[in-house]
Each structure stands twice: as structure tokens, then as C-alpha cells.
């Protein structure tokens, strides 16, 4: 059987278009427009590191540069248009998707009960009713509001007190919802007070087969082409075996087909796509030439192996690597221009000095860093300082590597 083959340039264009990075980052960035952007992405990962801006804010900013963090806070906490749960990590997700997390909640309840027992070595289950009664009586709480009689520790997440563990378990299992954050500390409330009854009734939730179909369909729509493993990893609440079985059924029905996707080095890799991928309109749409700094957790780069295969860009976060052993830096940002990742930059917003400091920039081996690239970078940094909450830019000596 001869498989349809997609060249690397065409594959990049489709991939970037599906990740909403093909167009110039213009247009409204609040309210319904922001909600539609998040629906297009599927979810936005939350992260607490604020070297320049938090990951979720930079993900949205890189697609709509009128975006400001208050717009996401309003959508989530004021309007109730988003809920928080886990994909591959904590994320905010459009509220309309809530029923499709029922399978995840059930699986998390089974998995976390044993995991938390092994990790925390305390009777968190015995605190369930006390925690629920406190929230019912007093309203939303954070972990610092519960278990006041329980010993505290500065040891880290593995030293949660029993009521903190109970809160986290009840959220992941569905009895509680996170309704917002103070700083980056979650606030929890009863699900019945937060989620519309039509969305949170387990008896009305999609069954396992429907959920798997929704997950795989949604993942393929947002990726353009994918392996079963990549489909499973997108939302991260079905297994690779379940995704593989879905692929087999869809392929037998003629709704998807196997294709060859050329990597950055020309090597073909087998994936699956909807029929007609080779005539996707994005192929004839050159991505914007606007240079953009991306979050290390951007949806287009989250799968490091796929990013390396498709863009020839090898990226690893080095924050947990001892400083002398780092190849680049603590928290280095990829830079996208057109359909290529052209460089990476180490920078930090020093808010006490009102300055964004660029420590180092490493162009990719195939990138010539001339005056045009430098001007495009400075223009992007001038936009980023507003998001970072500073007003000046400074380049350290020897910044260009």
C-alpha cells in the first residue's frame, strides 16, 4: 500500500495552524474571544513559574498580544466559563467540556487513593466529611483554611497534612471544584454549587466509549496528524491502547488514514490523519513572519520528541539541572518565526528594577542572526515587557552566543 506523504514544510504549516500560531497574534483577547481561543487549543496549562510571565499567560499572549492576565481571571473566576482539572498537568478547560472529564475523575479516584496512602502515610480519607462540612458551612477554602489542628511542615508537597490531601483528592475525584487561586494557591468549593447540574450529573455523562471517541477526535483535530500515543497524551486521560483501538476502528470505517510525515531531517514517520490532509488549506497559508517568544510549555512544544522530529529543535527544561551542568539556562524560551524555531533566549523580568534582562540568546545552527532578526526580537521584547509588568529592556554583556 502506498501511503500519502506530507513534506516537512507542509506538515509544519498544518501543525502551526492547528495550534493557532499560523496567523499574526492580533484581535480581541477577552471574554468570548478568549474563550474561543482556549476552546481551539483545548485547554491551557497552568504553571506557577513567573520568570517573565506565567506559562498560561504567555501561551495566550503569543496568540493574541492584546491579552492581559486579568482577562483569564475574569473568564475563570468571575464568569465561570472555565473549570480547572488535570490533563498532563493542571489546566483550565472550557466549561462545556466538563462532562468528558467524568471518566478522568473516576480513574483518578481509583489511582490517587492508593498513591496518596503510599505518599503521605496519613488518614486523609477520615477527613473527607469534616472538609466537606466546613466548605458547606463556610464557603470556599484553601489548604491553609482546613486542618488547623494538624501539624504543618515546610518539607514540600509530599508533606501535605491530611486535610490538604483530602482537598486535593476530593477535587480530582469530582466532589469539589477549584474556583480560583489566591496567588497560586487553589480555592475549593462544592461542585454542586459551582457546576450546572446538567453538566455534573454522572448519570448523564458520556460513557467510556463516547469519552474515548471525543478525546481522540478532539486531539486529532487539534494536532492535524498524530500517532495513537500522541492522541492518548493530548488530554492524558485515556490509555495508548484505547487510542490505538480507536484508530483501528476509524481507519476500518474510512474516517482516518495512515500517512507519512517528513521530519526536519527528511525521515518519514507514520501518523494518522483525516483523508485529504495533503490538500489542507493551511499548506497554502504562509505563517506570519512575526517573531514570537513561546512558553516552554506551549502546546506546540509540550511533546519534546515531536517538536524535535518536526522542527529539528531539541529542547529540555534545565531548572532542575545544577547550574554548572546546564547547557543553556534555568528557564529558556524558544523563539518562533514563520514555520521555524530560530533561537532560544534566557531572560528574566526584574520587577524591583523595572527591567527585563536578556542574559543570553542562542540562534539555532541554521539561523543567521543579522540586523533584521535583532530588530524583530527587540520589537517582540517591547511587547513582552507590558505582559511582564516592567518597562525597560537590558542586554547583558556577551548576550549573543
For residues 354-370, give the mean pLDDT: 96
pLDDT of residue 301 exceeding 80, the answer is yes
The span from the CA of 27 to the CA of 32, in Å, is 12
pLDDT tens across 40-93, in order?
999 999 999 999 999 999 999 999 999 999 999 999 999 999 999 999 999 999
Q: What is the 3-state secondary structure (H, E, C) of the chain?
A: CCCEEECHHHHHHHHHHHCCCCCCCCCCCCHHHHHHHHHHHCCEECCCCCCCCCHHHHHHHCCCCCCCHHHHHHHHHHCCCEEEEECCCEEEEEHHHHHHHHHHHHHHHHHHHHHHHHHHCCCCHHHHHHHHHHHHHHCCECHHHCCCCCCCCCCCHHHCCHHHHHHHHHHHHCCEEEEEEECCEEEEEEHHHHCCHHHHCHHHCCCHHHHHHHHHHHHHHHHCCECHHHHHHHHCCCCHHHHHHHHHHHHHCCCCEEEEEECCCCCEEEEEECCCHHHCHHHHCCCCCCCEECCCCCCCCCCHHHHHHHHCCCCCCCCCCCHHHCCCCCCEEEEEECCEEEEEEEEEEECCCCEEEEEEEEECCCCCCCHHHHHHHHHHHHHHHHHHCCCEEEECCCCEC
pLDDT for residue 369: 96
Could you tell me if 55 and 296 are in contact, meaning their C-beta atoms sit under 8 angstroms apart?
yes
pLDDT tens across 177-201, in order?
999 998 889 999 999 999 999 998 8
* 149 pLDDT tier (thresholds 50, 70, 90): confident
pLDDT tens across 14-35, in order?
999 999 999 999 999 999 999 9
pLDDT tens across 217-241, in order?
999 999 999 999 999 999 999 999 9
pLDDT for residue 157: 54
pLDDT for residue 153: 62
Q: Which of 128-137, 164-173, 196-205, 347-356 has the lowest mean pLDDT?
A: 196-205
- More confidently predicted of 394 and 5: 394
pLDDT of residue 176 exceeding 60, the answer is yes
pLDDT for residue 338: 97
pLDDT for residue 1: 59
First to last CA, the chain: 48
pLDDT for residue 184: 87
pLDDT for residue 155: 54
pLDDT for residue 377: 97
* 150 pLDDT tier (thresholds 50, 70, 90): confident
* 254 pLDDT tier (thresholds 50, 70, 90): very high
pTM higher than the cut 0.85: yes
- For each of the domains in the chain, give its residue range(s) and CATH number, in order of start: 95-192 (1.10.10), 289-393 (3.40.630)
For residues 161-179, give the mean pLDDT: 96
Mean pLDDT of the chain: 95
pLDDT for residue 154: 59
pLDDT of residue 245 exceeding 60, the answer is yes
For residues 355-380, give the mean pLDDT: 96
pLDDT for residue 156: 56
For residues 336-353, give the mean pLDDT: 97
pLDDT for residue 5: 87
- More confidently predicted of 342 and 154: 342
Strand partners for 349? 356
Amino acid at each position: 500500500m502506498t501511503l500519502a506523504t506530507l513534506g516537512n514544510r507542509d506538515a509544519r504549516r498544518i501543525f502551526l495552524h492547528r495550534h493557532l500560531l499560523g496567523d499574526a497574534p492580533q484581535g480581541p483577547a477577552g471574554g468570548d474571544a478568549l474563550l474561543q481561543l482556549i476552546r481551539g487549543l483545548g485547554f491551557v496549562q497552568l504553571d506557577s513559574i513567573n520568570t517573565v510571565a506565567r506559562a498560561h499567560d504567555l501561551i495566550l499572549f503569543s496568540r493574541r498580544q492584546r491579552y492581559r492576565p486579568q482577562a483569564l481571571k475574569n473568564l475563570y473566576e468571575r464568569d465561570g466559563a472555565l473549570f480547572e482539572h488535570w490533563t498532563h498537568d493542571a489546566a483550565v478547560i472550557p466549561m462545556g467540556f466538563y462532562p468528558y472529564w467524568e471518566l478522568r475523575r473516576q480513574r483518578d479516584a481509583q489511582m490517587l487513593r492508593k498513591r496518596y496512602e503510599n505518599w503521605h502515610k496519613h488518614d486523609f480519607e477520615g477527613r473527607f466529611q469534616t472538609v466537606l462540612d466546613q466548605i458547606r458551612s463556610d464557603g470556599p477554602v484553601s489548604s491553609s483554611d482546613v486542618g488547623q489542628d494538624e501539624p504543618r511542615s515546610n518539607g514540600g508537597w509530599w508533606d501535605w497534612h491530611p486535610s490538604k490531601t483530602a482537598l486535593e483528592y476530593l477535587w480530582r475525584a469530582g466532589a469539589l471544584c477549584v474556583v480560583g487561586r489566591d496567588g497560586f494557591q487553589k480555592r475549593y468549593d462544592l461542585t454542586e454549587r459551582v457546576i450546572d447540574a446538567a453538566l455534573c450529573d454522572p448519570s448523564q455523562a458520556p460513557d467510556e466509549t463516547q469519552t474515548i471517541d471525543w478525546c481522540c477526535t478532539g486531539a486529532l483535530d487539534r494536532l492535524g496528524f498524530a500517532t495513537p500515543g500522541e492522541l492518548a497524551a493530548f488530554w492524558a486521560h485515556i490509555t495508548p491502547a484505547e487510542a490505538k483501538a480507536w484508530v483501528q476502528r476509524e481507519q476500518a470505517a474510512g474516517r482516518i488514514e495512515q500517512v507519512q510525515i517528513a521530519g526536519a531531517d527528511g525521515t518519514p514517520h507514520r501518523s494518522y490523519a483525516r483523508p485529504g490532509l495533503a490538500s489542507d488549506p493551511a499548506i497554502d497559508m504562509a505563517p506570519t513572519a512575526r517573531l514570537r517568544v513561546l512558553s516552554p510549555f506551549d502546546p506546540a512544544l509540550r511533546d519534546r520528541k515531536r517538536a524535535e522530529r518536526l522542527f529539528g529543535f531539541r529542547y529540555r527544561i534545565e531548572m532542575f539541572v545544577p547550574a554548572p551542568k546546564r547547557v543553556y539556562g534555568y528557564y529558556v524560551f524558544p523563539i518562533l518565526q514563520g514555520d521555524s524555531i530560530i533561537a532560544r533566549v534566557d531572560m528574566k523580568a526584574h520587577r524591583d528594577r523595572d527591567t527585563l534582562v536578556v542574559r543570553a540568546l542562542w540562534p539555532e545552527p541554521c539561523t543567521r542572526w543579522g540586523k533584521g532578526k535583532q530588530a524583530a526580537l527587540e520589537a517582540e521584547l517591547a511587547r513582552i515587557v507590558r505582559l511582564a509588568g516592567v518597562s525597560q529592556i537590558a542586554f547583558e554583556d556577551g548576550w549573543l552566543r
